Structures are given as structure tokens and as C-alpha cells.
Amino acid sequence: MKKSSLYSRSVRRRTPEAPRILPPQEAPGPQTQPAETVPASQPSRFARSRQFGARHERILLLASAILLSVGIVYASLQFQPPARQITQKDIDGAVLHTLDSNVLPSAAAKAYEIVQQSVVRVRRVQQEKEGDAIKGVGTGVVIVDRGIILTNLHVVDGAERVQVVFADGTESEASVIGLQPENDLAVLQAKTIPDDLMPATLRSTQDLAVGDQVIAVGFPFGIGPSASAGIISGLKRAYRSPEHKRALTNLIQFDAAANPGNSGGPLVTMDGEVVGIVTAILNPSEQSVFIGIGFAVPIENAASAIGISPF
């Protein structure tokens, strides 16, 4: 009878393995890590800042100055009190101060400045044994730049020769080229004409009113050119000359001082425009001096003496 195999219950000892022979190594010791590569020494952050400051010293100083200035301005603006609002009283005070410290020329002075380059002295000349003698002085005004001059007929009446003296001192012989006895007017043509001769500006009398300011420019008693100021005293006046027995009508009455020598001169508005030709003064006595009433021929009549209308 076949016997079943019996299995031992004891633990079987394993045969010990032979020790493995390791290759020879260095004696064991503390483990060391491979040495790291140490970079070359670098300057510290403080050193780099100093180097940057040294290289850009001027730029940094300028930037610092700008920043400081901006800061000061900003601070001053922050603490500056708000601007005071300008009132009408302030404006009025400034205007009065300007007027007090800067004297402006008067309207009469401006008018004279405009017209004076066109005013001429008119001489009535007579030849005598001793030479030429001036027998009378009046005034004229240039109305055309070709040397055409308006004056009074009685200024040149009976003259052997007529001379004119322009504003720049130029002297010239003149001939009478037109007469208008009914308005006591004469038209002269100068033979010698100054350079840049300025004719006067003529203005219609249609809008003249009593009370309007005017000046009379001329050579009273041969002195001048002189200016006197006044107003329009009346319109459409009539006057009869005691010397020439002529009745003049449609005259402008004014109170600006006029005397012998003013005859033939312009009556001028404050705009410097000629509205009449001074022709007579009213004086009941025989003194032939101004007592407050003068007359001028309207410029419309004066212009018609040369056959043109100025308007």
C-alpha cells in the first residue's frame, strides 16, 4: 500500500548566501555635495546707486530744482487768497485815473490837425517903386490837389498879383480862374504846387444844426494860421456888406472868433470837414473887429463857384 507523503512541520533553514564582494570604494565618510560655481563678486545695491548718481549728477540737480520750483508754486497757489471780483466801481476808477494821467486832445484840436495842411495864406500884392508891397492878407483853402484854392472875392479884388503860401512854407504865384460875386467867392490856381498837397474834405450843410461845434481857421490880422472855436448860431442868414454893398443870402451864422484876415478861410466841423467859407463879420461900429457874429458861405455854394458839386 502506497504511503502518502509526509511533510515535515519544521521550518527549513535556508542556506546562507555568500556575501557579494563589492568593488573597492573610498572609505565611507560624511557625504559631500559637489561644489557650486561662485560668481565673481558684484557691487552692492548702495554702490550701484552711488555710481549712477555720480554719472548723472547735473541732470539730477536740474530735476530736483524743477520739482522744488513746481512744489513752491503749487504751495503758493494753494494758500493764495481767491481773486477779488472786479466791480463797476473799480472800472470807473481805472477810467478816471487814465483820464487824469493821460490828457487827450480836444475835439477842436483834432479838427484843426486834420484841416491845417489844406489852409493857405493869401496875399494881395502891388508893385511899387520900392518893390512889391503886400496890400492885404486873407485866407484860402485847397479843395483840389491840383492847387485849386477857394477864397473870398474881396480878398483878391483889385490885386495886381496874388501870392499864396502853403502850410509847408512853399510860396507860389496864383491866378484867379473863377469868380462868384453873389457869394463873395473867388477861385485861385497856384502855379507852384507842393509835393503831397492835401485838399480839404468838403461836407454838406444839410445835416448842420444850431449848436453844432465848429472852428474857424485863418490868418486874423495876418497872424497864423490861427484857430478859434464856437458853435453854429443860425442858418440861412442874410447879410449886406457895408464896403461892397453886396447882399449875401443863405449864410451860416457862427460865433467862433473871426477878424480881418480870416476871410476866405474854412469853417470846419469837429470831424475836420469844411462846411463853409468864412466871408464876413457883423459889427455895427467902424472898428471891423469881431463882436460875436460871423458869417460863412455854405460849401455847396462855394463848390458851385468852380462848376462842380462836392457831393
From the list 154, 172, 226, 255, the catalytic residue is 154
The residues with which 152 forms a beta bridge, in sequence order, are 185
Q: Please list, in sequence order, all residues whose beta carbon lies within 8 angstroms of the beta carbon of residue 175, skipping any fewer than 6 positions away.
A: 162, 188, 189, 191
- Whole-angstrom Cα Rg for the chain: 56
For helices 57-79 and 45-55, give the axis angle rounded to 10 degrees.
80
From the list 118, 172, 184, 233, the catalytic residue is 184
CB 251 within 8 A of CB 267: no
Helix/strand/coil percentages in the chain, nearest 5: 25, 30, 45
Contacts 24+ apart (CB under 8 A), 300-305: 300/204, 300/205, 301/180, 301/183, 301/185, 301/250, 302/143, 302/150, 302/183, 302/185, 302/276, 302/277, 303/143, 303/202, 304/180, 305/150, 305/178, 305/179, 305/180, 305/183, 305/185, 305/186, 305/187
User: Cβ of 147: how many Cβ atoms within 10 Å?
Assistant: 20
Residue at grid coordinates 442858418: 235
C-alpha dist (Å) from residue 222 to 123, 134, 219, 225:
10, 11, 5, 8
Query: Would residue 184 show up in a list of annotated catalytic residues for this protein?
Result: yes
From the list 118, 172, 228, 263, the catalytic residue is 263
- Best CA proximity match to 139, nearest among 79, 221, 40: 221
Query: Would residue 154 show up in a list of annotated catalytic residues for this protein?
Result: yes
Which residues are known catalytic residues?
154, 184, 263
